[in-house]
Amino acid sequence: MAGSYDDRDGFIWLDGKLVPWREANVHILSHAMHYASSVFEGERCYNGKIFKSREHSERLRFSGRELDMEIPYTVDEIEAAKYETLKANNLTEAYVRAVAWRGAGEDMGVSSARNPVRMAVAVWGWGNYYGDAKMKGAKLDISKWKRPSPETIPVHAKAAGLYMICTTSKHAAEAKGCSDALFMDYRGYIAEATGANIFFVKDGEVHTPKPDCFLNGLTRQTVIGMLKDRQITVHERHMDPGEMEDMQQCWLTGTAAEVTPVGQIGDYTFEVGALTREIAEGYETLVRS
């Protein structure tokens, strides 16, 4: 599948039924378009099975509640919708996007309590998120923006509005020839990339930022479990940017990123070492098991 995302063959699940891809539209006065009242999940299907599917569906409903949007579908109904959409598009290897949002209704201001909560599921084929960086190691810029305090926004929801600074940061990074950008948090500690969590290796031990003001990704949790199964020490902690000087390896994790090595962040460089490759290969085996 290629071309513009609004002009493709196939079907999208929208509010309980499959509709032709090009007809899966919303009104211009949908609340989400104006006030970011939208939550979503990014998932991958391998060999016909969505990895961590139910956990993603549960998180979608959690994110909706964090934005005061009760999604009108149960976890079981969301699960059925995802697999129905995959079947309708004849896909067994795919990216899966479930999204819920405040639609158009009686309210058109900040308040939207009378507007319906809508939901859709779209699926499509998608390769490596970072292209050949999956093998060579991604190059990251350092964003001028910071991840906000938990007192300012629901940081543990996968909410569309939280990605505004991700888009601007990634655009700036790409303009510099980088694959992505690294955020610091509101305190100045290392946080995450624009759509992925980050890990570092030093002397055989792994260090990763504590997710107290950003999303604790499902892939992140999976990789920590893999490391602990291998008896590798994992430190989840606040990390100062200057610590990158002494780190030997680095990788990103996320549903789209999977496990992607990092070769450079700003002026700091890292080797694509044995542990990075082991975890990347182990993750690939796990998701297809």
- If you search the block for the tokens 């995802």, which residue do you land on? 82
Whole-angstrom distance, CA of residue 95 vs CA of residue 44: 5
| DSSP symbol at 48 | T
Query: Is the pLDDT at 133 greater than 90, yes or no?
Result: no
Whole-angstrom distance, CA of residue 251 vs CA of residue 213: 20
> How many other CB atoms are found less than 10 A from the CB of residue 269?
16
Query: Is the pLDDT at 40 greater than 70, yes or no?
Result: yes
Confidence of residue 32 (pLDDT cuts 50, 70, 90): very high
- Active-site entry in 52, 82, 139, 158: 158
User: Does 158 qualify as catalytic in the annotation?
Assistant: yes
Confidence at residue 229, expressed as pLDDT on a 0 to 100 scale: 98
Q: What is the pLDDT of residues 191-238, one digit of tens each?
A: 999 999 999 999 999 999 999 999 999 999 999 999 999 999 999 999
Q: What is the mean pLDDT of the chain?
A: 96
When mean pLDDT is compared across 22-36, 123-137, 168-182, 251-265, the lowest value belongs to 123-137
Confidence at residue 1, expressed as pLDDT on a 0 to 100 scale: 52
| DSSP symbol at 255 | T
- pTM for this model (two decimals): 0.95
Cβ–Cβ under 8 Å, residues 153 and 146: no
Domains observed in the chain? 11-124 (3.30.470.10), 133-287 (3.20.10.10)
Contacts for 155 with CB less than 8 Å, ≥ 6 apart: 147, 148, 149, 162, 213, 214, 215
Confidence at residue 128, expressed as pLDDT on a 0 to 100 scale: 79
Whole-angstrom distance, CA of residue 66 vs CA of residue 11: 29
Confidence of residue 88 (pLDDT cuts 50, 70, 90): very high
Coil, helix or strand at residue 284? helix
Torsion of CA 270, 275, 278, 280, to 10 degrees: -40
Torsion of CA 179, 145, 172, 135, to 10 degrees: 0
Whole-angstrom distance, CA of residue 257 vs CA of residue 180: 11
